[in-house]
Structure 1
Amino acid sequence: MSSSCIEDESLRSSEWFRIVNEMLGRAEIALNGPQPFDIQVHNPAFFKRVLQEGSLGLGESYMDGWWDCDRLDIFFTRAINAGLEHQLPHHLKDTLRIAAAKLVNLQSKKRSWIVGREHYDLGNDLFERMLDEHMQYSCGYWKDATTLSEAQNAKLKLICEKLALKPGMKLLDIGCGWGGLAEFAARHYGVSVFGVTISAEQQKMAQQRCEGLDVTILLQDYRDLHEQFDRIASVGMFEHVGPKNYATYFDVVDRNLKPQGLFLLHSIGANQSHDKVDPWINKYIFPNGRLPSISQIAAASEPHFVMEDWHNFGADYDKTLMAWAERFHKTWPEISQNYSERFYRMFNYYLNACAGAFRARDIQLWQIVFSRGVDNGLRVAR
């Protein structure tokens, strides 16, 4: 290579550095700085990669060990509050993905099983150690809690109380996970529970967890449900439904809910209605996921139900994710032989990035209670 080419490459590299440094400066984040939220760059190609590939390049370069940060959660909180995600370029693939989401049903029956295989079937050894004893992979309720176990126990109790569960009732759990809610409701409230999941690993553990209780766990798409239930709950599943299926989802709930029934929807939510999908999260964590907005949920639910209560405790997801991250780090030596170092960096990045987003209030956590509007004297629990 000629000296002029080397000089040109050096100039381009310094320009990439200058732009990234200037952007991070708006969030008071330094390159190779002393603060725990500053980033330490190990590969100078990092700057060009981030500016050309945006969010995907940022996440993948971290997975590749090109940079580090002691407190990724604070880094993301600062970056989001400074609006840096809006200043990163949109890769052509991101644009095509948004277009595809508009034209194609990415959460069809056939495609709905993808997230089960690629995320929830990662390995029970990981989730058993990272989560609480109820295996709750959704936001805990930290109002009076000081530990993850207390927060998740409080969340399960809150759901059951909001649904006003009584012995002898039939409860449908759409997206039942590892059976934590099913077991809790059957054991403490005397209800009969029917749970569905799209994860084979979750079904296996849920059946073991609920052995001896009046609980049925099936590997089944929610669209194939045709029964009648007194109560329906859906916890941390609506994020995988997709806008093209919101109307169908509420049709399914409607046809399976008895006239005097109640339905509780527990979901992460977006502040605005948009077609954005974070490309890194979509590729590595939750394929084909979409966060609903208030208006999208309202439009899909209003032909069927009265909204009795809308409870936002999104700030609690920050605490939940940080508790998961702490347990993940502690348990890593026990399970590291089953996973790669790149997986460790990927999962660490995911937990901390999401914690930062909730802390910045960029995304929310909603529990919504619906009824048919009958005069049943309902007073929703808190």
Structure 2
Amino acid sequence: MQWLLDMLGRKIHRAALTIELDDGARYVLGDGAQQAGIRARDASVLRRVALDPKMRFGEAYVAGLWEPADCALIDVLRVAALIQQDLEPGRVGREITKLQGNLRQWDYGQLSRRNVSHHYDRPPAFYASFLDADLHYSCAYFSEPDMSLEAAQQAKCAHIARKLDLEPGAEVLDIGCGFGSMALFLAEQYNARVTGITLSQAQLAVARERARERGLDQRVQFELLDYRTLDRDFDAIVSIGMFEHVGRPQFRTYFDQVRRCLKPHGTALIHSIGRFSPPGRTNPWIAKYIFPGGYIPALSETAEALEPHGLLSNDIEIWRLHYAKTLAAWRERFAAVRPQWVETYDEAFCRMWEFYLCGSQASFEAGDMMVFHLQLTHDLERLPLTRNYLYAPDEAASKASSA
């Protein structure tokens, strides 16, 4: 076993994973400075994981076949993220992986709904137990040190709203509106009229109820609608955390729809998880258990899909560790309510969710994940010449809300 791990570990120089078995056997994979350890039941667990590590490492954890040894799960998955990067295939291997990913990302009406329902139609109380009070299920923006999760999510909304550069009463489309948090923010703070669309029945019900509770149901409309079926135009379009669900074969369809729905003098802001590395495929464990049909895009393939549609990329902003901080906060909050969800679901479900949250955090801290913003217009002169307006006191919001 150690000989096999040594052969595999020839390329692993940034991290090391120590593996202990219940019978006292001990093995090491890699020779890097960042280290973590696991304790597995027996050698059969290692053999099973070795046959398909990207899938079976997570499955074995969920099944209780291994535990972190003298460290936390997040430490193990940071090491795993570094090991995975060291073992990434070369150019030919990436092209094969890309082709395999394309075959798994065809996304049509009924399949889209099933994929969305798999993740987002859990009881809203589940998400409310670990999200911020305003139910943002996307990356927060920690614009100041030591911000709370609640403050960072509001900072995200304000930053995105500035990028949209809205006039009072602007008509805004929110593609993938989630629980309605961004739409409600724009209606309250900018006096916008917002149409939010989603394929999640559970999120739709919550969003509509929140709009009624805040007295905003005349200015905010939420609809169960596929973005590809829209036939209206808007002053602004915002899409937060939805592009990751589009799938590479549909990128051009997505940007064509953004182009057609955006008025000539409008602005669109696309907020998406991305990868620093070249195009690849979705981690198979994530694709099976967490986000079926999902795909994290590289900027290179996103730009390639965007260019034919004539939309202008006015600004591209990269957020590096903001999602890691967001996930760390979600993970801490989930840990506090874990007993409740063990009782509602079971231990395996909670281990799956912990693995998802920890693995996602590790991918931003030690892997190749980031968040990017694409600010798009038809008009070269639509927006100010510099970024200064994004960081000045937000006078636009106060003017809009009082209009």
Deviations 1:183-209 (A, max 9, x none): 111111110000000110000001011
* Cα distance change of structure 1 residues 344 and 310 upon mapping to structure 2, 3 Å threshold: same
Which segments of 5 or more consecutive residues in structure 2 lack a partner in the other structure?
21-25, 27-33, 90-94, 392-403
Aligned partners of 1:340 and 1:24: how far apart in 2?
A: 36
Moved more, 331-340 or 173-182: 331-340
Partner of 1:50: 49
The percent identity for this pair of structures is 34
Aligned partners of 2:355 and 2:157: how far apart in 1?
A: 27
How far off its partner does 1:87 sit? Answer: 7.0
Partner of 2:341: 335
Q: Which amino acid aligns with 1:124?
A: P
Aligned partners of 1:312 and 1:154: how far apart in 2?
A: 16
Partner of 2:151: 150
Which segments of 5 or more consecutive residues in structure 1 lack a partner in the other structure?
1-12, 89-94
Deviations 1:83-125 (A, max 9, x none): 467279xxxxxx9996554346522223111222110112212
Q: Which amino acid aligns with 1:247?
A: R
Within-5 A mapping of 1:301-380: 301-302=306-307, 303-378=309-384, 379-380=386-387
Q: Does structure 2 retain, via aligned residues, the 8 Å contact 1:79–1:85?
A: no
Partner of 1:179: 180
Moved more, 182-191 or 107-116: 107-116
Q: Does structure 2 retain, via aligned residues, the 8 Å contact 1:16–1:51?
A: no
* Cα distance change of structure 1 residues 332 and 274 upon mapping to structure 2, 3 Å threshold: same
* Cα distance change of structure 1 residues 22 and 86 upon mapping to structure 2, 3 Å threshold: closer
* Cα distance change of structure 1 residues 307 and 100 upon mapping to structure 2, 3 Å threshold: same
Aligned partners of 1:292 and 1:44: how far apart in 2?
A: 36
How far off its partner does 1:293 sit? Answer: 1.2
What secondary structure is seen at the aligned counterpart in 1 of 2:143?
Answer: coil
How far off its partner does 1:362 sit? Answer: 0.8
Partner of 1:193: 194
Q: Which amino acid aligns with 1:134?
A: D
Pairs aligned (count):
364
* Cα distance change of structure 1 residues 274 and 97 upon mapping to structure 2, 3 Å threshold: closer
Partner of 2:395: none
Q: Which amino acid aligns with 1:135?
A: L
* Cα distance change of structure 1 residues 31 and 19 upon mapping to structure 2, 3 Å threshold: farther
Q: Which amino acid aligns with 2:38?
A: I
What secondary structure is seen at the aligned counterpart in 2 of 1:181?
Answer: helix
What secondary structure is seen at the aligned counterpart in 1 of 2:272?
Answer: strand
* Cα distance change of structure 1 residues 338 and 84 upon mapping to structure 2, 3 Å threshold: same
Aligned partners of 2:42 and 2:151: how far apart in 1?
A: 42
Within-5 A mapping of 1:1-382: 27-32=15-20, 37-69=36-68, 70-83=71-84, 86=87, 99=99, 101-103=101-103, 106-144=106-144, 145-211=146-212, 212-213=215-216, 214-302=219-307, 303-378=309-384, 379-380=386-387, 381-382=390-391
Q: Does structure 2 retain, via aligned residues, the 8 Å contact 1:20–1:47?
A: no
* Cα distance change of structure 1 residues 26 and 281 upon mapping to structure 2, 3 Å threshold: same
Deviations 1:230-265 (A, max 9, x none): 000000000010111111101111111110000000
Deviations 1:131-189 (A, max 9, x none): 00121111100121521111111101111111112321011000000000011111111
Aligned partners of 1:341 and 1:235: how far apart in 2?
A: 31
Q: Which amino acid aligns with 1:143?
A: S
Q: Which amino acid aligns with 1:350?
A: Y
Q: CA RMSD in A?
A: 2.6
Aligned partners of 2:167 and 2:338: how far apart in 1?
A: 41
Q: Which amino acid aligns with 2:40?
A: V
* Cα distance change of structure 1 residues 193 and 25 upon mapping to structure 2, 3 Å threshold: same
Q: Which amino acid aligns with 2:170?
A: M
Aligned partners of 1:47 and 1:147: how far apart in 2?
A: 40
Q: Which amino acid aligns with 1:265?
A: I
Q: Does structure 2 retain, via aligned residues, the 8 Å contact 1:196–1:218?
A: yes
Aligned partners of 2:337 and 2:371: how far apart in 1?
A: 27
Aligned partners of 2:352 and 2:296: how far apart in 1?
A: 21
What secondary structure is seen at the aligned counterpart in 2 of 1:138?
Answer: coil
Moved more, 229-238 or 24-33: 24-33
* Cα distance change of structure 1 residues 139 and 260 upon mapping to structure 2, 3 Å threshold: same
What secondary structure is seen at the aligned counterpart in 1 of 2:17?
Answer: coil
* Cα distance change of structure 1 residues 87 and 245 upon mapping to structure 2, 3 Å threshold: closer
* Cα distance change of structure 1 residues 336 and 138 upon mapping to structure 2, 3 Å threshold: same
Partner of 1:8: none
Partner of 1:3: none
* Cα distance change of structure 1 residues 21 and 338 upon mapping to structure 2, 3 Å threshold: farther
Deviations 1:283-315 (A, max 9, x none): 000001111111211122223211111111121
Q: Which amino acid aligns with 1:66?
A: L
Q: Which amino acid aligns with 2:137?
A: Y
